[in-house]
Amino acid sequence: MQSHIQLAALLLIGLAIALRPPSASAQKIIAHRGASFDFPENTLVAFRHAWEQGADGIEGDFYLTADGQIVCIHDPDTERTGGQQLMVEQSTLEQLRGLEYGSWKDRRFAGESIPTLED
């Protein structure tokens, strides 16, 4: 009987440890597509502002272009954020950089370029 009580006590202790919430220091804030609520997603301005707002990390979406460059964009084409429909994987970096990726969010971001991983 005493071994059952000890086993039950150990199980309760283990359960209490497993179910406790993580400490605040263990929680991290990752900015999805940068500070994309306020800035055009997956742009350098969005990533910079995420750091300035205190994010612990940033997360972006990446595609490989036809000429082997890694660019940061969520969609497989540029229509939503670049205003013209170019398939990212079938386009060169020069073609993709010919579009701007900020004004869809707000005119004050006009001229934002598609960033590369190197940027």
> How many distinct helices (H) and strands (E) make up the chain?
4, 4
Is 74 considered catalytic here? yes
Q: Active site residue: 32, 97, 98, 99, which one?
A: 32
Q: How far apart are the first and last CA of the chain?
A: 67
Q: What residues contact residue 39 under an 8 Å CB cut-off, 6+ apart?
A: 45, 46, 49, 105, 109
Q: Which of 51, 74, 95, 104 is catalytic?
A: 74
Phi, psi of 63 (to 5 degrees): -135, 155
Catalytic annotation on 49? no
- Residues marked active site are found at 32, 74
